[in-house]
A and B are shown apart, each in its own frame.
Chain A
Amino acid sequence: MKKIVTLLTLTLLVCIAAANAYGQKEAREDLVSGLLDVYEDKEGVESITISSSLLAMMENGTGQDKQTKELISKIKDLRVLIITDAGVEKALLAELEPVLQNTYTQIMKVKKSAKERMMLYLRTSPEKSGKKQAGALLVTIAEDNSLTVMYLSGNVDTDLIDAVLSGKVNVMNGKINALE
Chain B
Amino acid sequence: MDEQKVKALLERYFDGATSLAEEQELRRLLTEGDAPASLKPYASLFAFYATERAVSYPAAARAGRAIGVRWWIPAALAAGVALLITVKALTPTHSAYTYYVNGRRVYDKEAATAQAAAKLQMLAASMQHAKAGMASLEKLNEVGRYLEPLDKVRQTLLQVDHVISLAPTAEQSIH
Q: Which positions in A face B, CB cutoff 8 Å?
A: 3-4, 7-8, 11-12, 15-16, 19, 23, 40-54, 57, 78, 80, 82, 108, 110, 112, 118, 139, 141, 148, 150, 164-167, 169-175
Determine whether the beta carbon of B117 is less than 8 Å from that of A170: yes
Question: CA–CA, A96 to B71, complex, Å?
Answer: 54
Query: A80: which B residues are within 8 A, CB to CB?
Result: 115-116, 119
Query: B83: which A residues are within 8 A, CB to CB?
Result: 11, 15
B93–chain A nearest beta-carbon distance, Å: 10
Question: CA–CA, A23 to B89, complex, Å?
Answer: 13
Determine whether the beta carbon of A118 is less than 8 Å from that of B126: yes
Asked if B101 CB lies within 8 Å of chain A CBs, one says: yes
Determine whether the beta carbon of B129 is less than 8 Å from that of A54: no
Question: CA–CA, A54 to B125, complex, Å?
Answer: 25
A42–chain B nearest beta-carbon distance, Å: 6
Question: CA–CA, A36 to B109, complex, Å?
Answer: 20
Determine whether the beta carbon of B130 is less than 8 Å from that of A110: yes
State the interface size on chain B (CB cutoff 8 A). Answer: 41
Partner of B78, one of A4, A23, A53: A4
Q: Beyond A53-B95, A150-B119, list 12 extra A-B contacts (CB 8 Å).
A: A4-B75, A7-B75, A15-B83, A40-B98, A40-B100, A43-B103, A46-B101, A49-B97, A78-B116, A150-B123, A164-B120, A166-B124
Determine whether the beta carbon of A12 is less than 8 Å from that of B82: yes
B95–chain A nearest beta-carbon distance, Å: 7
Partner of B116, one of A8, A50, A53: A50
**Listed A/B pairs (19) with beta-carbon separation below 8 Å:** A4-B75, A7-B79, A11-B79, A12-B82, A15-B82, A45-B100, A45-B103, A46-B102, A49-B97, A49-B98, A50-B113, A51-B98, A57-B96, A141-B122, A150-B123, A164-B123, A165-B123, A174-B96, A174-B113
